[in-house]
Amino acid sequence: MSVEPPRRDLRPVALVNRFPPVAWLYDPLWRGRSVALLTRGGYDVAREADAAVRWTSPPDGGSWLDVGCGSGFALRAVHARRPDLRLVGIDASPAFARTARSRLRAAGVPAEIALGTAEALPYRDATFDAVGCVGTPNELRDPELALREIARVLRPGGRLFLMAIDAADGTVGRLLRAPARAAGLRFPEAETWTAWAEAAGLRFVRGERRAPLRWATFERRSDDAA
């Protein structure tokens, strides 16, 4: 189990996320619309949530961890589809964690919300049947370490559902991503995500791309196959 506290994250994206108004406005102004806006109507958050539950297929009464849970948007969506699951969320921003607790409570969604980072998850090995990490991967400070931590807390056979913004296809795309990179975001290639996941003990199961977004599911290999 990880016990070493991470160093303070001073990247602009992390600092901005600490402001309460950012956490409060994130769902109505961005998260609820982002998928449809970015894919120009080719996908939406309802379809994303359906895929998350279907692709991970946690057992009845199983457990779901949302890494980078933000204000609890994905946890509410998962609960609507699988109210039997034990839901846990973790976020590095105190403002987002407080907002998540408030909104989940108001929606009647039982979920445990913790403050922490993806690179140092405060959970024992093999704790969760499924992990979601949607929208957060590009903000991870150390994606390789985060994937190792996710693999560690997943039970053998458990699955990770990941959604990230892809690397740019051309010059224009790279220019558009430049301000985000300056703020501390990263845009790895799909092959890089897969390589990092496999090195962490996860195997690729399936994926889908609707530019500029990519969804993928990875399964925790059993100990004898890792």
CATH number at residue 38: 3.40.50.150
Q: Is residue 102 part of a domain?
A: yes
Instruction: Find the mean pLDDT for residues 191-216.
Output: 97
Give per-residue pLDDT as tens, 54-99: 999 999 999 999 999 999 999 999 999 999 999 999 999 999 999 9
pLDDT at 168: 74
Q: What is the pLDDT of residue 196?
A: 98
CA nearest neighbour of 179 among 52, 16, 7: 16
pLDDT at 224 over 90: no
- What does the pLDDT read at residue 88? 98
- The larger pLDDT score, comparing residue 42 to residue 224, is at 42
> How does the average pLDDT of the chain come out, rounded?
93
**Inside any domain, residue 42:** yes
Whether 51 maps to a domain, the answer reads yes
For residue 2, pLDDT over 90 is answered with no
Of the pLDDT bands very low, low, confident and very high (cuts 50, 70, 90), residue 7 is low
Asked whether residue 97 is domain-assigned, the answer is yes
Residue 3 domain flag: no
Q: What is the pTM of this model?
A: 0.92
pLDDT band at 104 (very low <50, low <70, confident <90, very high): very high
Residue 4 resides in a domain: no
Confirm if 203 and 219 have CB atoms less than 8 A apart.
Answer: yes
**pLDDT higher than 50, residue 3:** no
Which domain covers residue 74, as residue numbers?
12-220
Whether residue 38 is predicted with pLDDT greater than 50 in this model: the reply is: yes
pLDDT in tens, 130-185: 999 998 999 999 999 999 999 999 999 999 999 999 987 766 567 778 898 999 99
Q: What is the pLDDT of residue 177?
A: 85
Say if 188 falls within a structural domain.
Answer: yes
For residue 223, what pLDDT is reported?
66
Judge whether 36 and 30 are in contact, CB under 8 Å: no
How many domains does the chain fold into?
A: 1
Residue 47 lies in a domain: yes
